[in-house]
Structure 1
Amino acid sequence: MAIDAHERALDRVARLVREPTDLVSLWRGCTEVLATVVPHYWTPCWFTVDPASLLVTSHVHEGLDRMPDEWLVAEYCGQDVNRIADVATSSSGVSTLHEATGGRPESSPRWHFNMTLGGDQEVISRLRTGSGDVWGAVGLYREPGSPLFDERDTRFLQAISPHLAEGARRALLLGEATAPEHPDAPGLVILDEHWEVSSTTPGVEAWLRELPDGDVDQGRMPSAVLAVAARARAAAEPSAPGGVVVSRVRARSGVWVVLHGTVLVDRGSRRVAVIVEPATPDRISPLLMAAYQLTAREQEVTSLVLRGASTAAIAQELVLSPHTVQQHLKRVFDKTDVRSRRELVATVFFAHYEPRFRDNERRMATGLPLRGGPA
């Protein structure tokens, strides 16, 4: 495959993820692009993960409406290689099953599972933003007898990773804004060419009232929203949607909020969409507190365990001694009624993430926006 074909594919992906769209539509568009440069069997398996825990929240695999239970059990309870969390925290962010097994994929339980679906070779690539947050992963497969995934394939997956991660993040935000399910859900406002409000999503007025120097009841939009919209419009190309402009603003209440602005090209008009969300939303910590009465420090230790961190890595991250980390872990095990790190990860996933994972399968089947984070 010529180098320019990969560059064109990368450009197409970069343009796709700029368009405000739902997650399923985004994955379908990117699937078409991947097929042109990385030949694979059937269709990709797209995953989203919670950046705070690296636990899976959704999957989109055309033709596989429900992920078999044994896949989830193997991913979070079994001993295997090439698991999503392992790839997400690896140095390269991409791994083939052939490499992970030292050239013996048949030694991996996931290979036997893949073979039941017709796949032999497997490559997993994380979707990580430039700032380091992992929002998902994509798995590609090849049938028996096909060439191995090579360095050219993995380099391309690494190149598109930050674009796909940002696209997944914004698509999840858009889904939450259009159909909010909790009080601090993101909001969306669309401004027309004359900076007038074209449409809004439920609950966005509360966010706009939180922003300084605006008065939405009197029709005066906060300057922070107008500034993001103006920057997004200025950055847009004449014939295509521009990139996403991001701004961080302190609200009247003192909390920080993030604004994302991007241009919509529709029937010749150039509207601007602005999404407003709380800065660095973290749903896993309050969940761990409510479900298991973990202290703040125990929540921090647990979150790092979920991400696959070792005792030494946790100690370095939290500026604690390894002994202190082990003491915190012992209390976490007691409160969650588990005996090992693997049991802790499985307990949190099946109690709080598997319900979200299964609900997203139902949402996809009925055309509803997919959700991120724990249930």
Structure 2
Amino acid sequence: MSAARAERLQRSLSSLVRSGGPLDSFAWDALDVLGRAVPHDLGCLATTDPATGLVTRTFKVGLPDHLDSEVARFEYEVDDVNLFRDLVHRPCPVGVLDVDTGGRPERSARWRELLVPQFGQAHELRSVFRSGGAGWGLLAVFRPSGAAGFSPDEAALVGSVATLIGSGLRAALVASTASDAGSSTGPAVLVVGADDRLAQLTAAGERRLAELGGAPGSVLPLPLLSV
């Protein structure tokens, strides 16, 4: 890993953290900075609940919403390589599918059944963003078949800023929660049927659903599918 490259990335992200912007701005800007440092075709940065590891908000580049239920299934129901709940415990919380399968990504059910046939992507890098020993966010980025895979140097580069991004997400989430306090017009209640579709919701629930990227009558957004 180039020291100069790592220093540039650290400076850019440190500036974002110090700016103290709202969650949306920080997440999109961090994803943009990471995309220039580690180029990829598709990607997702998400916030997570530090107590459970469940996704609470997603910021996607090029990824479709209609596959969120499959994404959740492979993350929470299928035993696979480089699950986020495993990465959070690694000294360097970054995984490259090609590397961690010994050059045989087909060993991964996620690769065989989701990434290649549905996303059209053959290479995956994942990271968990920790702060205070807990995961506050995660990253998954992809490259298509025929492109160069993610290198150990790129994994080390992301790992070198994982705690910095985790601290930034934590601060942005706390600030956003404080600014939202008292703004609800009532309890945000959503009743979900066995088919994973909304049966009922309150007015505040509809507002919260919109904040998560969903709408009545549409597929549930990934944070709700994760739960």
TM-score (norm 2): 0.75
Letter of the 2:119 partner, please give it.
Answer: L
Asked if structure 1 preserves the Cα contact closer than 8 Å seen for 2:57 and 2:212, the reply is no
Identity of aligned residues (%): 29
- 3-state secondary structure, aligned to 1:48: strand
Q: Which sections of structure 2, spanning at least 5 residues, go unmatched?
A: 185-195, 197-205, 215-222
1:21-170 matches, within 5 Å, as 21-42=21-42, 44-64=43-63, 66=65, 68-112=68-112, 113-115=114-116, 116-129=118-131, 131-170=132-171
How far 1:36 sits from its partner (Å)? 2.3
Shift of 1:93: 1.0
**8 Å contact kept, 2:121–2:145:** yes
Distance 1:21 1:107 in 2: 41
Secondary structure at the residue paired with 1:149?
A: coil
Aligned-pair distance for 1:41?
Answer: 1.5
3-state secondary structure, aligned to 1:125: strand
CA distance in 1, matches of 2:122, 2:28: 23
Q: Secondary structure at the match of 1:141?
A: strand
- Higher-Rg member (1/2): 1
> For the residues of structure 2 that align with 1:158 and 1:19, how far apart are their CA atoms?
22
Alignment of 1:191-270 (within 5 A): none
**Relative to 1, partners in 2 of residues 1:157 and 1:21: Cα closer, same or farther, differing over 3 Å?**
same
CA contact (8 A) 1:59 1:361 kept: no
TM-score, length-scaled by structure 1: 0.47
**Cα gap change, 1:361 to 1:97, in 2 (>3 Å):** farther
- In the TM superposition, 1:334-353 aligns within 5 A as none
**CA separation of 1:105/1:8 partners in 2, compared to 1, >3 Å: closer, same or farther?**
same
User: What is the CA–CA distance in structure 2 between the aligned matches of 1:181 and 1:30, rounded to whole Å?
Assistant: 29
**Matched-pair contact (CA < 8 Å) for 1:65–1:365:** no
Amino acid at match of 1:50: D
- Deviation for aligned residue 1:359: 8.3
Quote the residue 1:191 is aligned against.
Answer: none
Are 2:31 and 2:45, in contact at CA under 8 Å, matched by a contact in 1?
A: no
Change (3 A) 1:74 1:11: same
Q: Which residue of 2 aligns with 1:180?
A: 181
Q: Secondary structure at the match of 2:61?
A: coil
Q: Return the match for 1:363 from 208, 211, 221.
A: 211
CA distance, structure 2, for counterparts of residue 359 and residue 164 of structure 1: 28
Aligned residues: 196
CA distance in 1: counterparts of 2:165 and 2:37, whole angstroms = 16
Q: Segments of 4+ in structure 1 off by > 4 A?
A: 358-361
Q: Name the CA distance, whole Å, in 2 between partners of 1:124 and 1:38.
A: 12
In the alignment, what sits opposite 1:338? none
Contact 1:58/1:360 (<8 A) preserved: no
User: Residue 75 and residue 359 in structure 1: after superposition, are their counterparts in 2 closer, same or farther (change >3 A)?
Assistant: farther
Return the offset for 1:166. Answer: 0.8
Query: Structure 1 pair 69/93, CA: closer, same or farther in 2 (3 Å)?
Result: same
Query: Aligned partners of 1:9 and 1:86: how far apart in 2?
Result: 25
Shift of 1:172: 1.0
CA RMSD in angstroms comes to 3.0
Q: What per-residue deviation string (whole Å, max 9, x for no partner) do you get for residues 67-120 of structure 1?
A: 521111121111211111111122321111112322211221211312221221
- Distance across 1 between alignment mates of 2:158 and 2:24: 19
C-alpha contact 2:53 2:85 (8 A) present in aligned 1: yes
Q: CA deviation at 1:365?
A: 4.0
Partner residue, 2:219:
none
Q: Structure 2 counterpart of 1:21, which letter?
A: G
Paired with 1:62 and 1:103, the residues of 2 have a C-alpha distance of: 26
Quickly say closer, same or farther: Cα 1:109–1:3, change in 2 above 3 A.
same
Q: Is the 8 A contact 1:58 1:361 kept in 2?
A: no
Q: What whole-Å deviation, never above 9, does each CA across 1:218-259 have from its counterpart, x for those lacking one?
A: xxxxxxxxxxxxxxxxxxxxxxxxxxxxxxxxxxxxxxxxxx
CA contact 1:24–1:364 (8 Å) conserved in 2 = no
